[in-house]
């Protein structure tokens, strides 16, 4: 907005008319005092100021304006009919004016000058805004850098105080800090401690995590610098994010050698115990079967013999599971892969289960035919486990659906029951070793390792697997395996 200051209303009117016809917003004041009051309340892009006015003349007004921080940058054009002498013009410029126009006014010259000064003021005002924003941005960045530095120092202090090997890295994976424990394993901060040649390469796994942005977690054997013995460590590296953007990585090596040895001793015990139990159990089972053949169909003893055989079979299954888990942990579970007809495999498995569970109705849904690469014994073990779970967790339902479909060049197989279902939090753990759903209210036998064994078998077949369930509406355990044709 342009402020016109003149003690004569007719002069103000003529100037306002010219300027507003050319889209310049205007304001006016009839005295120097009024003009100064208005500049305290409003912002002006330009002031057209008459020199000769009663009270404060134009020179005095200009001097006051140029001495005020709020108004010193407003351009001033003096208008005068009488003060044409050079000394008056000089005084006008020294008072703070940027131009001096002699009356009578040439409208074209006035508009040209007003347009130029108006644009200059707007540009200067925009530049001031940019400079102010830049100043604020610099101050903000300085504060942010200071806070980041404080956080980093706090993080480094924390990492120095923990017993693990700890480090931080930049977003592109370059290690930029290590604690003192690091130097017990390697003298350099540029590379990770060398790991056992039989273990996955730390650097390769690290590069994969950096590229994907996913956390790194792996068990690896490393040794102290100058020593021969490797010890198991759990390497964990997590991305630190701010507003979903990775800003840093923080990692640690935790010594888990004692835990690994304890697990190894446990696995060895399970293997030995399972084998030792298997031998007498096989003999007991054989004698009971002989006794079963020697008793007549209506003999009362046969009832007890059948019940004994049932419990022996349960115990036999538990021992077989323990043996399987020991083989999995030691990497000795055999998988001889060959081409299989899944439809035939499923049919023979269901036929066996029909004989064991004659009261249940196994409904085939889809029942597509597809060739897959796999181990028939182990896949049959998975199918039986899924179906047995459906039977156990759906005691009031006698129908189980067996679903086969082709999905994206994979064979999908699912076992759907109509039982108690599984809560969301438990679904995440059902394939975990020794996990059992405890809040079902249904008495369930077993060690909680059946589904874990299934998951390991399916992993060896490059199959995806999982469970879909809703409490009170049943569950569907499934796997999806690549097919050949």
215-230 residue pLDDT tens = 999 999 999 988 889 9
Please determine whether the domains at 259-330 and 338-482 fall in the same fold group of CATH. no
Neighbours of 58 (CB within 10 A): 26
| Tens-level pLDDT at each residue, the chain (485 residues) | 899 999 889 988 988 998 988 889 999 999 989 999 999 888 888 889 888 888 888 888 888 888 888 888 788 888 876 555 556 666 666 666 777 777 788 888 888 888 888 888 888 888 888 888 999 888 888 887 877 778 778 778 888 888 899 999 999 999 988 999 999 999 988 889 999 999 999 999 999 999 999 999 999 999 998 888 999 999 999 999 888 899 899 999 999 999 888 877 777 776 676 666 766 777 787 878 887 777 776 677 777 777 787 777 767 766 776 666 666 666 666 677 899 999 999 998 898 888 778 888 999 998 788 899 998 888 988 999 899 888 888 878 889 999 999 988 899 999 999 988 888 888 888 888 777 665 555 555 555 678 888 898 899 889 999 999 988 888 999 999 998 86
pTM summary value: 0.45
Domain ranges of the chain: 2-129, 162-255, 259-330, 338-482
Per the rule left: phi > 0, alpha: psi between -120 and 50, beta: everything else, 185 is: alpha
Q: How far apart are CA 192 and CA 175, in angstroms?
A: 9
Q: How far apart are CA 256 and CA 367, in angstroms?
A: 47
Q: For 200, which DSSP code?
A: P
At the second CATH level, the architecture of 259-330 is: Orthogonal Bundle (1.10)
pLDDT tens for each residue of 103-160: 788 888 888 888 888 888 888 888 888 888 999 888 888 887 877 778 778 778 888 8
Q: Nearest CA to 455 among 473, 474, 470, 434?
A: 434
Q: Nearest CA to 430 among 394, 454, 413, 406?
A: 454
Q: How far apart are CA 325 and CA 453, in angstroms?
A: 7
**pLDDT at position 86:** 59
**Residues 21, 22, 28, 31: what is their CA dihedral angle, to the nearest 10 degrees?**
-100
Q: Which CATH number applies to 162-255: 3.90.1200.10, 3.30.450.20, 3.40.718.10, 1.10.645.10? A: 3.30.450.20
Fold type of domain 338-482: Heat Shock Protein 90 (3.30.565)
What HEC string does 144-182 produce? Answer: HHHHHHHHHHHHHHHHHHCCCEEEEECCCCCEEEECHHH
Q: Nearest CA to 153 among 184, 177, 189, 123?
A: 177
For the domain covering 2-129, report its CATH number.
3.40.50.2300
3-state SS assignment for residue 232? strand
């Amino acid at each position: 907005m342009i402020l016109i200051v003149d003690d004569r209303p007719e002069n103000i009117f003529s100037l306002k008319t010219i300027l507003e016809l050319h889209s310049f917003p205007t304001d006016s004041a009839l005295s120097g005092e009024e003009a100064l009051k208005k500049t305290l309340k409003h912002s002006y892009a330009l002031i057209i100021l008459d020199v000769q006015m009663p009270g404060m003349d134009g020179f005095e007004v200009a001097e006051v304006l140029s001495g005020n921080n709020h108004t010193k940058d407003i351009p001033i054009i003096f208008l005068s009919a009488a003060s044409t002498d050079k000394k008056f013009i000089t005084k006008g410029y020294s008072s703070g004016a940027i131009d001096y126009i002699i009356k009578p006014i040439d409208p074209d010259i006035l508009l040209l000058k007003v347009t130029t000064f108006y644009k200059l003021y707007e540009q200067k005002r925009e530049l001031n805004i940019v400079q102010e924003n830049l100043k604020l941005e610099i101050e903000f960045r300085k504060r942010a850098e200071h806070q980041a530095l404080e956080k980093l120092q706090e993080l480094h202090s924390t990492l120095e105080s923990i017993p693990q090997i700890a480090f931080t890295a930049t977003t592109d994976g370059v290690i930029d800090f290590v604690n003192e424990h690091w130097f017990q394993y390697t003298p350099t901060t540029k590379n990770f401690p060398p790991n056992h040649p039989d273990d996955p390469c730390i650097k390769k796994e690290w590069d994969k995590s950096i590229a994907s942005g996913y956390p790194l977690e792996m068990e690896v054997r490393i040794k102290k610098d100058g020593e021969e013995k490797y010890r198991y460590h759990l390497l964990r590296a997590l991305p630190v994010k701010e507003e979903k953007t990775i800003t840093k990585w923080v990692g640690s090596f935790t010594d888990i050698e004692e835990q690994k040895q304890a697990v190894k001793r446990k696995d060895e015990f399970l293997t030995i115990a399972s084998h030792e139990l298997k031998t007498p159990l096989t003999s007991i089972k054989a004698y009971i079967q002989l006794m079963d053949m020697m008793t007549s169909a209506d003999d009362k003893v046969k009832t007890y013999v059948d019940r004994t055989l049932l419990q022996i079979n349960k115990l036999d299954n538990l021992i077989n599971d323990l043996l399987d888990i020991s083989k999995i942990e030691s990497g000795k579970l055999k998988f001889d892969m060959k081409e299989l007809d899944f439809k035939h495999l499923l049919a023979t498995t269901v036929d066996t289960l029909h004989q064991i569970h004659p009261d249940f109705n196994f409904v085939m849904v889809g029942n597509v035919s597809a060739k897959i690469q796999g181990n028939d014994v182990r896949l049959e073990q998975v199918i039986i486990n899924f179906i047995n779970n459906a039977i156990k967790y759906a005691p009031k339902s006698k129908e189980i659906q067996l679903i086969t479909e082709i999905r994206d060049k994979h064979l999908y197989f699912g076992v759907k029951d109509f039982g108690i279902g599984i809560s969301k939090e438990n679904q995440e753990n059902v394939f975990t070793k020794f996990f059992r759903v405890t809040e079902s209210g249904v008495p369930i036998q077993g060690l909680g390792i059946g589904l874990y064994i299934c998951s390991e078998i399916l992993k060896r077949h490059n199959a995806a697997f999982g469970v879909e369930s809703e409490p009170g509406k049943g569950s569907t355990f499934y796997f999806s395996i690549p097919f050949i044709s």
